[in-house]
Structure 1
Amino acid sequence: MKNNSTARNTSGVTKLLRIALYSVLLIMAFFYLMPLIIMLLTSLKDAEEVRNGTLLSLPGSLNFDSWSKAWSGACTGSTCTGISPYFLNSFKIVIPAVAISTLLGAINGYVISLWKFRGSNLFFAALLLGCFIPFQVVLLPMAQTLGWLGIASSTTGLIFVHVVYGVAFTTLFFRNFYQSIPGELVKAARLDGAGFFTIFYRIILPVSTPIIVVTVIWQFTQIWNDFLFGVAFSGFDSQPVTVALNNLVNTSFGGKEYNVDMAAAIIAALPTIVVYVFAGKYFVRGLTAGAVKG
């Protein structure tokens, strides 16, 4: 009887602790999501409700006019109030920049970790140093380089900028991951007559899925959310969505339309939210897989 009573008490304490833990987590999640909740509620109200209500007041009726205006808007002269063309610009920049920087990072990491050469450690140190260079430091030399190449104020120029700045990070990710691959595997393939690219495509890449996912998510998020490079190196036709969002929020005709601003901000954030929702668990797995050695 005493043992049964002790077991019941222990079970009751465990349940209380579990309830307390989940309660704390729910409260923390609510406060963490508070800005997003406020943005969503505000975007579903009309301008009158926004002015007269409170931040957390529910909309009287669902109003999606602000979403339509944030997306489509209108263009007057050199100023567009909608973010749809710039949303497409961001995809034109992100997709090739992520693909190129990921491929270059994979090759660099493969060479540095599995094909040692004289000066490879110095080369890696230089790339690692590049990870800590502030964005502001490279603005002037990068602007001069884009001018020399004839790709200033263009989508191609922004792709080039993000590839150059992203290669250091992608190389670091792949190098650390490839350190866990036995060097004997590469040596055996070389004895069988496999060359550099054959080993890379047939042996290394097939086992690189976890770190490729990590790199793609990292690069996608960094490039999509970038504002500094976008505002410094883009022209009117090549501005990314972050620059367009800034222009929309800081440009007012008549009264300030906070509902439109909030709707535009949510639309601009949707791609990164979707990426993390559907690929977040693979991001954690890839980081763990790359933390074995190196």
Structure 2
Amino acid sequence: MANTDRIWRFALYGALLFAAAYYLLPLYVMVTTSVKSVEEIRAGNLLSMPMAVTLDAWSKAWSTACTGVSCNGLSGYFWNSVQMVIPAVAISTMLGAINGYVLSKWRFWGSEVVFAMILFGVFMPFQVLLLPMAQTLGMFGLANTTAGLVFVHVVCGTASTTLFFRNYYVGIPDELIKAARLDGAGFWRIFWRIILPMSTPIIMVTLIWQFTQIWNDFLFGVVFASGDAQPITVGLNNLANTSTSVKEYNVDMAAALIAALPTILVYVFAGKYFVRGLTAGAVKG
């Protein structure tokens, strides 16, 4: 019996290692290709280790690679994304927390209808929003700006964040809110002093979810931004599609890794909080 258990355990570990290697193989190819020279890439194969590690491709992708008519690398696009992501994630998360708090603990006549309408936004294809959103940005004078992209992502992300927080807050006992109201606490005091300190798991889920969605977005970046306001996903697309005499795969791979690095780091260092938060809110009605 013990031998059978040991065999099954080895088989399970072997299957897990095979799956991990299979899914990590593209990342390995990208990393090794990005630190090879063009000559070595031509002479070798995709899976070979680099004979001489060089970061020239990374330097070029960051500062001198051509993205269309401009040859200033991805650095400007990267900082555009940073300036867009931080306020968009913070605002959409805070709005979702307030909405979820209201819709779960301060119910009013028609609150379920309001929640259903907000929930409908989670399933609405973003392509449907392009024309009305473009008209709205034009009216507000936010077209082709980073502030406009922040506005778009806040509007489109609030539906998801509201759903996350509302489902989480439903599991908090109503008696806790009633007791605080009897003690004289108002709407905002209850939110800041009681609800928000209990929201760490779902806040982490929402921050990671929103950061990933907004950082990796290409559709809104290419439609609603131009020139100096474009995010890194658009810059990466421009770099990969810029024609040169020699195709520098190492620069393309380095550029792709630069674009993906923030989300990779977020999941490496905060992925466990994401799983815990989803588990904590998984059975909330």
Residue 137 of structure 1: which of 97, 118, 128 is its match?
Answer: 128
Q: Distance in 2 between matches of 1:177 and 1:75?
A: 46
CA RMSD of aligned residues (A): 1.3
Q: Say how many residue pairs are matched.
A: 285
Residue 54 of structure 1: which of 42, 45, 49 is its match?
Answer: 45
User: Are residue 118 (structure 1) and residue 109 (structure 2) matched?
Assistant: yes
SS of residue paired to 2:264 = helix
Q: Distance in 2 between matches of 1:70 and 1:77?
A: 13
Q: Contact conserved, 2:80 with 2:231, CA < 8 A, in 1?
A: yes
TM-score by length of 1: 0.94
- Report deviation, 1:51: 2.1
Q: Distance in 2 between matches of 1:52 and 1:75?
A: 25
Q: Contact conserved, 2:93 with 2:158, CA < 8 A, in 1?
A: yes
Q: Contact conserved, 1:75 with 1:81, CA < 8 A, in 2?
A: yes
Q: Distance in 2 between matches of 1:76 and 1:61?
A: 27
- Report deviation, 1:11: 2.1
- Report deviation, 1:17: 1.5
- Report deviation, 1:83: 0.5
CA offsets, 1:108-160, max 9 Å, x none? 00000000101100100011000011111100100000000001100000000
Q: Distance in 2 between matches of 1:55 and 1:264?
A: 17
Aligned to 1:152: 143
Q: Contact conserved, 1:71 with 1:84, CA < 8 A, in 2?
A: yes
Q: Distance in 2 between matches of 1:138 and 1:88?
A: 26
Aligned to 2:196: 205
Aligned to 1:5: none
- Report deviation, 1:64: 1.1
Aligned to 2:75: 84
Residue 95 of structure 1: which of 86, 91, 108 is its match?
Answer: 86
SS of residue paired to 1:79 = coil
User: Are residue 26 (structure 1) and residue 17 (structure 2) matched?
Assistant: yes
User: Are residue 219 (structure 1) and residue 210 (structure 2) matched?
Assistant: yes
- Greater Rg by CA: 1
Q: Contact conserved, 1:81 with 1:248, CA < 8 A, in 2?
A: no
Flag the 1:76–1:230 CA change in 2: closer, same or farther, 3 A: closer
Q: Distance in 1 between matches of 2:53 and 2:71?
A: 26
User: Are residue 72 (structure 1) and residue 63 (structure 2) matched?
Assistant: yes
Q: Distance in 2 between matches of 1:159 and 1:149?
A: 13
Supply the AA of the counterpart residue of 2:206.
T
Residue 192 of structure 1: which of 183, 194, 219 is its match?
Answer: 183
CA offsets, 1:207-253, max 9 Å, x none? 00000000000000000000000010112111111000000000022
CA offsets, 1:231-282, max 9 Å, x none? 1011211111100000000002211111100011011101001000111111
Moved more, 221-230 or 250-259: 250-259
Flag the 1:149–1:121 CA change in 2: closer, same or farther, 3 A: same
Moved more, 21-30 or 80-89: 80-89
Any residues of structure 2 matched to 1:10-25 within 5 Å, and which? Answer: 10-25=1-16
Aligned to 1:239: 230
Aligned to 1:7: none
Gaps of at least 5 residues in structure 1 are 1-9
TM-score by length of 2: 0.97
Flag the 1:94–1:66 CA change in 2: closer, same or farther, 3 A: same
Q: Contact conserved, 1:89 with 1:240, CA < 8 A, in 2?
A: yes
Q: Contact conserved, 1:66 with 1:263, CA < 8 A, in 2?
A: yes
Supply the AA of the counterpart residue of 1:277.
V
Aligned to 2:255: 264
Q: Contact conserved, 2:91 with 2:154, CA < 8 A, in 1?
A: yes
Q: Contact conserved, 1:97 with 1:163, CA < 8 A, in 2?
A: yes
SS of residue paired to 1:25 = helix
Aligned to 1:292: 283
